[in-house]
Amino acid sequence: MTKKKKKKESWKEKRRQAAIKHQKALEAERLKRERQPKKSKGWSRSKALAIAFLSLTFLLVGVYAVWQRDGVVDEKSSDMVLLKTNKGDIKIELYDDMPVTTGNFKKLVEQGVYDGTIFHRVIDKFVIQGGDATVKGITVPTIPDELPNKHSNDRGWVAMAKTNEPNSATSQFYINLENNSEDLDSNYSVFGKVIEGMDVVDTIGEVPTDANDKPLEDVRIIKAELVK
């Protein structure tokens, strides 16, 4: 074999050996990939369950917060009003689960609408009614009824007075002297309760009245104010 031919054969052998080496390297890489755990294309089951649990927790917390806000959990009071009358003081707790009615009453108190008004209708063993702003030349817009009631027209509870027409309440309110829920709950929105001064309410309920149930002597609200 000539020197030139030997050199050519040696070059071919080197190429063959290089090809074999490259093929072995590719095979080794394939085997390595097969031995490695495959990556999930999505979330793992444990991660998905954890996220679902957290989502459910946040949902329940949100529902509970709304539930409390709407007054289903308890009757949380937002404010209290003190009525200073010429017969004594009456403290009323307002309930924030009646936002329209309570909001209207609070606004009128803050504006001084009730100051100087009278309890113009008193019926013994039934109700005392006051807050008529028209005697001061004030026209108060009507508000929608909040029915069905979340509270009852029982003794000491406070509700808005109105005409027989729906959604006709303005500023007038009444305090129950007895349990009147059977007769009044379906039509009159209850939004507060007397927590101090029920003896004053009873005293007002016993004052002499004329044929129209108006006290013969004025029972006046000297001042109404928000208190804590």
C-alpha atoms less than 13 angstroms from C-alpha of 27 in its C-beta half-sphere: 6
Give the tens place of pLDDT for each residue, 28-77: 666 655 554 444 444 555 555 656 555 544 444 343 343 334 433 334 44
Residue 104 is part of a domain; what is its CATH number? 2.40.100.10
Which sign does the torsion angle of CA 179, 143, 200, 93 carry? positive
| Shared domain check, 191 and 166 | yes
User: Does residue 3 register a pLDDT over 80?
Assistant: no
| Shared domain check, 199 and 140 | yes
Q: What does the mean pLDDT of the chain come to?
A: 82
Give the tens place of pLDDT for each residue, 107-119: 999 999 999 999 9
The two structure tokens encoding residue 42: 């999505």
pLDDT of the residue at 110: 96
User: Does residue 165 register a pLDDT over 60?
Assistant: yes
Task: Check residue 112 and give left, alpha or beta (phi > 0: left; psi -120 to 50: alpha).
Answer: left
Using DSSP bridges, classify how beta strands 157-160 and 173-176 pair: parallel, antiparallel or unpaired. antiparallel
Give the tens place of pLDDT for each residue, 181-223: 999 999 999 999 999 999 999 999 999 999 999 999 999 999 9
| Shared domain check, 221 and 117 | yes
| Shared domain check, 167 and 82 | yes
CA distance 81 to 199: 17
Nearest to 189 by CA among 214, 169, 210: 169
Q: How many structural domains compose the chain?
A: 2
Give the tens place of pLDDT for each residue, 124-159: 999 999 999 999 999 999 999 999 999 999 999 999
Query: Which of 69, 92, 127 is the last residue before a domain boundary?
Result: 69
| Shared domain check, 162 and 184 | yes
Contacts of 119 (CB under 8 A, 6+ apart): 85, 128, 129, 130, 204, 215, 219, 221
| Shared domain check, 183 and 107 | yes
Query: Which of 69, 88, 110 is the last residue before a domain boundary?
Result: 69
Question: Would you call 5 helix, strand, or coil by DSSP?
Answer: helix
pLDDT of the residue at 57: 45
| Shared domain check, 209 and 180 | yes
pLDDT of the residue at 15: 65
| Shared domain check, 82 and 173 | yes
